[in-house]
Structure 1
């Protein structure tokens, strides 16, 4: 029914969950989204955890990872657990081996197609990996040509890991628990 009291003449898809045209289904969706929120990219990385994914409400944004309200400034006492990782990302036909204590923030600024793996460790481990695969390194960069030895290493690092981000989150939660 339209605002003027006349019936809607819009076509209803045969598989629509409600007897509403697409336009009115979108109106209903927007109505529900006011309270349920919409998952989307945050305007900037979360200050508390570095995540890029958030939930948008009419009243503002919440981080989808840690539920920090975007715009709030963390207390000086708030300290994210520091977990350094060596990351492996692929962009087209090359793989970058880098390190970060905040990979969400770091990788947000690097073009890549996919995060291949994380390996727990810092600069020393990164240096060892650069030396290990030096024969396939693009000079003056942290980018490497795809080759069998690197792919075998990534397969080994990824055993039992369906999602590198979940593994990283598990390491962070464990570090938090150890800090008490």
Structure 2
């Protein structure tokens, strides 16, 4: 709730300020002391802004600027650092949900671009981080919808609801996968 500047003076009185509080101020501080508080907050917590160039790991343009430099807001990779090209890409297993007509394939891979490029499909519905164990659990969970001896399932209401939960808040499954890979790179240093 904004402070009424006519009724309140700056709370800071160690330097004898007690200056006027600007209209709409969330706390009773004069402009000079609001600026000091904002500078402190930026130094302590960083300022979210556009990175000078896309993150080399995940491609995000959103960063957090700290006095010590920039961090990617998505994967927290330090802007300007280059991943060690001699190290292999980290393994990130995913369970994928592909739609073709009224069927869904539930499979797993550590190389989704290569794998999905080899499967005829209409749409990538979602990625779920996990390996064969999770894939087998999903196959058992939707066994009633499964086409015999395949990884294809009838697109039922139950399967739709599950995919909606997995995909909730994710506009682009590939961006989510890039974030997982970049997090894995960042974790290994």
Matched, 1:87 2:96: yes
Partner of residue 176, structure 1: 185
Cα offsets for 1:124-175 (capped at 9, x unmatched)? 0000000000000000100000101100000100111001000010000000
Q: Quote the Cα distance in structure 2 between the aligned partners of 1:146 and 1:93.
A: 6
RMSD: 1.4
Cα offsets for 1:18-75 (capped at 9, x unmatched)? xxxxxxxxxxxxxxxxxxxxxxxxxxxxxxxxxxxxxxxxxxxxxxxxxxxxxxxxx9
Gaps of 5+ in 1: 1-74
Cα offsets for 1:55-101 (capped at 9, x unmatched)? xxxxxxxxxxxxxxxxxxxx993301110000000011100000000
Greater C-alpha Rg = 2
Of structures 1 and 2, the one scoring higher in RCO (CA 8 A, sep 6+) is 2
Pairs within 5 Å for 1:95-114:
95-114=104-123
Pairs within 5 Å for 1:145-160:
145-160=154-169
When normalised by structure 1's length, the TM-score is: 0.57
Q: Quote the Cα distance in structure 2 between the aligned partners of 1:94 and 1:138.
A: 9
How many residues were matched structurally?
106
Pairs within 5 Å for 1:98-137:
98-137=107-146
Please report how far the alpha carbon of residue 112 of structure 1 lies from its aligned counterpart in structure 2 after TM superposition. Answer: 0.5
When normalised by structure 2's length, the TM-score is: 0.55
